[in-house]
Amino acid sequence: MLMPNPSDSPRPLSRKLKGYAFDPSLSLKTDTSDFNEIIYKIPWEDNLHLGPKGEYLEIIDYDPTIKKPDGAYGVFYKGVDLNDPYILAEDGLRPSDSNPQFHQQMVYAVAMKTIKNFEKALGRKVIWREKAFSSSISKSYIKRLRIYPHAIREPNAYYSPAKRALLFGYFKSTPSEKQIHMPNSWVFTCLSHDIIAHEVTHAILDGLNLYYNEPTNPDVLAFHEAFADIVALFQHFTMPEVLKSQIARTKGNLENQNLLGQLAQEFGNAIGGYGSLRDAIGYFDKKEKIWKRIEPDTSEYETVLEPHKRGSILVAAVFDAFLTIYKARVADLIRIASNGTGILPDGDLHPDLVNRLASEAAKTAGHILNICIRAIDYCPPIDITFGEYLRAIITADYDLVDDDNNNYRLAFIDAFKRRGIYPKGIKTLSVESLRYQQILVSNKSEKVLNTITEFLKEYGRIMKFRSSRDKIFTLTKVYIDGENGEKGLHQKMYDEVYSNDNSAILTGIITKKAFNKYGINNGKHSQEPTFAITSLREISRIGPTGKKINQIKFSIVQTARLVFENDGTYRNKKRGGKKIYEI
Ligand SMILES: [Zn+2]
């Protein structure tokens, strides 16, 4: 008899790992314990080492707050080996809040799931923010985001752009009511799906748009927070067990209080709140002690400035768009189940109906998550506003989906309008006026466009089907900066723009000549205002109807020195810094 050679077995596509759908607190409640322990299916990594340490992530479990017998502080916990046959056979370690190796598995699983969702929607590999001022291209490449599951002993978790790391805290709870959460019990932020997904999103967004941590207007930091919440929220819908339980509980009406629209339950309770840390559709009325639906209020966008609270306005708008589309998609099912009255009979929903409603909710949520992520590529590289994000959403969807049968775009426009979010310079809020239009090219300016398109076509050919992230990174850098006397995209554009006014106009790059023409004072600076190409990537996306688009995306950011006539109104802020994002 011939025994099959083990190496002939097909390579697994995914790795299954046990974890909490939300956080440990839901495993202690009878109505949520059934679905809180789920299996995360994440991409299989051949080279996954202890830690885990793989292609994108390195989990480093160092706790600087633990006192050792010799009086010094700091302990390393042994990294989990997810390739251990016993662990593999059991789909990972069992969820446990007291086992540090499970904590490592949980952060790894959720972070990888989030990365996978981004890569699917963006149509390219995720690459972390590069190291600035490096002596060589290879030294500026950051292969892995580092994750510290037990980094601080405080109720917080954050992404540090300077360290390219996620730092998760843990703390003793101080709940407002003992029935909600046990006082003085340990709460680990690294065990919360929502907090992990939120922080990883900060890191991914920081790699995509380097200047979104510079608060040039009140929306910028709020956008970072909102976007991170949107990703965490819509990932709830990718968990079938959770989705079905919540559909059954709300009888399909997701406008009622449910876990899908809430973020970080345990954290919210443990720091003295009544329920989740944030809720996209409702809030807990402390006086009446009941949950209430939030009514959209256009004045909030004018007055609320704290980034998380301001971000909640955008999250609510996106969730509202989701609810509108979901309701439209299930209207026929509800009519059938209610004999045309729209009012479902008392008692539990039929399991078949729960399955159908859950399937519609999952499809809608998946599409919304994709639109929201894809829209990032259509946003300006600096100074983002919520209104511009709406324009990006509409344009991104228009590019990939020809026929908007389910009125996704109108649902977004309406939800933003109800919260007073309008893009600047738009006269009417229609899909046509919101969509970014293609540039019309006159003959005079064609030369710069030809130079750029020929160059980008070549870049596209070189990058096609490349899967190695470090190769993508290094080759792209060479294409931007040039090598061995060959001009890169930056130099080629520079030559065109500073020798031809029309080229400058077409690209939007401001030259010194333009400054002089408009009487803009840029001081005694004799040099031209500089510009940088902050990103260049090849994109290959597939839409919900199977439509495939290949694009090259690049962004230009220009820095110019300006002198304001009225002294004191302008302060020259230094770029960069150590801005951190709190939960
Ligand atoms: Zn945050």
Q: Pairing mode, if any, of strands 290-293 and 282-285?
A: antiparallel
Kindly state the average pLDDT of the residues 260-279.
82
Burial class (CB in 10 A: 0-12, 13-18, 19+), 238: middle
* pLDDT at residue 464, as a whole number: 87
Q: How far is the CA of 462 from the centre of ligand 1 (A)?
A: 36
Q: What is the CA angle 206-212-213, rounded to 5? A: 85
Alpha carbon distance 444, 142 (integer Å) = 42
* CA–CA separation, 38 and 102 (whole Å): 14
Any idea which residue has 């990294």 for tokens? 79
- Alpha carbon of 395 to ligand 1 centroid (Å): 26
* Per-residue confidence (pLDDT) for residue 85, from 0 to 100: 96
- How far, in Å, CA of 83 to CA of 45, rounded? 10
Structure tokens at 562: 């300006």
- Nearest residue to 155 via CA among 59, 266, 60: 266
Mean pLDDT for 542-570 is 74
**CA-to-CA distance for 518 and 521, rounded, in angstroms?**
9
Using the mean position of ligand 1's atoms as its centre, give its distance from the Cα of residue 224 in Å.
7
What is the 583 CA–ligand 1 centroid distance (Å)? 4
* Amino acid making up residue 399: D
Query: Rounded CA gap, 216 and 557, in Å?
Result: 14
Give the distance (Å) from ligand 1 centre to CA of residue 280.
15
pLDDT for res 110: 98
Strand partners, 53: 49, 58
Give pLDDT tens digits for 476-534: 999 999 988 899 999 988 888 888 877 777 788 888 777 666 666 666 656 677 888 99
For residue 308, name the pLDDT band (cuts at 50, 70, 90): very high
CA of 197 from ligand 1 middle (Å) equals: 10
The amino acid present at 458, given as its one-letter code, is E
Report CA(190)–ligand 1 centroid distance (Å): 14
Question: Model confidence at 207, in pLDDT bands (50, 70, 90)?
Answer: very high
**228 Cα: distance to centroid of ligand 1 (angstroms):** 6
60 or 527: which leads in pLDDT: 60
Q: How far is the CA of 248 from the centre of ligand 1 (A)?
A: 31
Find where tokens 């590999």 sit: 125
Instruction: Name the β-bridge partners of 300.
Output: none
Question: What average pLDDT does the segment 533-552 reach?
Answer: 86
Residue 4 has pLDDT above 60, yes or no: no
Under 8 Å between Cβ of 373 and 351: no
Interval 222-257: pLDDT, tens: 999 999 999 999 999 999 999 999 999 998 999 888
- DSSP E strands in 29-144: the ranges are 37-43, 57-59, 62-67, 73-76
- State in Å: Cα 282 to ligand 1 middle: 20
How many whole angstroms separate alpha carbon 509 and alpha carbon 452?
14
Task: Return d(Cα 206, Cα 479) in angstroms, integer.
Answer: 22
Q: Distance from the CA of 220 to the center of ligand 1, in angstroms?
A: 12
Query: Average pLDDT of 557-582?
Result: 50
pLDDT at 526: 61
Whole-number Å distance, alpha carbon 158 to ligand 1 midpoint, is 7
The alpha carbon of 316 and the centre of ligand 1 are apart by a number of angstroms equal to 16
Q: How far apart are the CA of 313 and the centre of ligand 1, in A?
A: 15
Q: Rounded to the nearest whole angstrom, what is the distance from the C-alpha of residue 242 to the centroid of ligand 1?
A: 24
- The SS3 call for residue 237 is helix
Between 572 and 478, where is the model more confident?
Answer: 478
How remote is the CA of residue 16 from the centroid of ligand 1, in Å? 28
So what's the pLDDT on residue 160? 95
Ligand 1 centroid – CA 292 distance (Å)? 24
pLDDT tens-place string over residues 90-116: 999 999 989 999 999 999 999 999 999
Q: What is the Å distance from ligand 1's center to 226 Cα? A: 8
Provide the pLDDT for residue 179. 62
What tokens were used for 557?
């950011």
| Span from the CA of 576 to the centroid of ligand 1 (angstroms) | 18
Q: Is the dihedral of CA 362, 364, 369, 371 positive or negative?
A: positive
How close is the Cα of 548 to the center of ligand 1, in Å?
33
CA of 199 to the centre of ligand 1 (A): 6
Q: What is the sign of the dihedral through the CA atoms of 245, 249, 253 and 258?
A: negative
Q: Closest Cα to residue 254, out of 315, 330, 323, 308?
A: 323
Q: Give the model's confidence band at 180: pLDDT under 50 very low, under 70 low, under 90 confident, else very high.
A: low
**Mean pLDDT value across residues 34-42:** 93
Q: Residue 218 and residue 311: Cα distance in Å, rounded? A: 10
CA 198 / ligand 1 centre spacing (Å): 6
| Distance of CA 582 from the midpoint of ligand 1 (Å) | 5
How far away, in angstroms, is 564 Cα from ligand 1 center? 34
Distance 427 CA to ligand 1 centre (A): 33
**The length of the chain, given as a count of residues:** 583
pLDDT at 569: 43
CA of 202 to the centre of ligand 1 (A): 7
What is the 157 CA–ligand 1 centroid distance (Å)?
8
User: Mean of the pLDDT values across residues 61-65?
Assistant: 94
> What's the 206 CA to ligand 1 centre distance in angstroms?
12
Rounded to the nearest angstrom, the distance between the alpha carbon of 489 and the centre of ligand 1 is 34
Highest mean pLDDT among 455-469, 517-531, 568-582: 455-469
Which tops the pLDDT comparison, 434 or 582? 434
The pTM is what? 0.92
Better pLDDT: 124 or 514 = 124
Tell me how far the alpha carbon of residue 52 lies from the centroid of ligand 1, in angstroms: 24
**pLDDT above 50 for 575:** no
Q: Which helix (H) or strand (E) holds 303?
A: helix 300-303
Report how far ligand 1's centroid is from the alpha carbon of 581 (Å). Answer: 5
Q: How far is the CA of 334 from the centre of ligand 1 (A)?
A: 37
Q: Tell which wins on pLDDT, 118 or 449.
A: 118
Between the CA of 352 and the centroid of ligand 1 the distance, in Å, is 38
Give the bridge partners for 368, in sequence order: none
Q: How far is the CA of 225 from the centre of ligand 1 (A)?
A: 5
Helix 100-122 × helix 193-208 angle, to 10°: 50
The answer for 184, left when phi > 0, alpha when psi is -120 to 50, beta otherwise, is: left
pLDDT band at 148 (very low <50, low <70, confident <90, very high): very high
